[in-house]
Structure 1
Amino acid sequence: MGSFDDEPVSFQKMDLYIKENGVKRIGDLHREIYLSHPQRVQKERFKTILRYFVD
């Protein structure tokens, strides 16, 4: 949740989580699923699902 500009921080948190749990990321491909409409919601309240493949 938050500005799209915060995406790199979210990926850092995801990378730390998988490292701490013995999981490995597969490739650099990722998906972004936008749940909020940028013209209807304040930037701080944007909701996005970030996903990437792990093994």
Structure 2
Amino acid sequence: MARTPDAEAVVGDDETLTYAELDARSDALAWHLREQDVAPDVRVGLRVERSSGPWGR
């Protein structure tokens, strides 16, 4: 990510995310989990449809 933050990381039918955008959205998810009192080393499963959906909004 550090070398190519503007390169495409996720390409969906309706949206394309760069590595920088994907990083920001994954950080937002991490903060949301922390706000829900999920401890740092706890594994969390995600069930998502095959799309940029959860990262896209």
TM range (shorter): 0.3 to 0.5
Q: Scaled by the length of structure 1, what TM-score is found?
A: 0.40
User: If each structure's strand is expressed as a fraction of its own residues, which one has the higher value?
Assistant: 1
Q: Scaled by the length of structure 2, what TM-score is found?
A: 0.39
- Structure ranking higher on relative contact order (CA contacts 8 Å, 6+ apart): 1
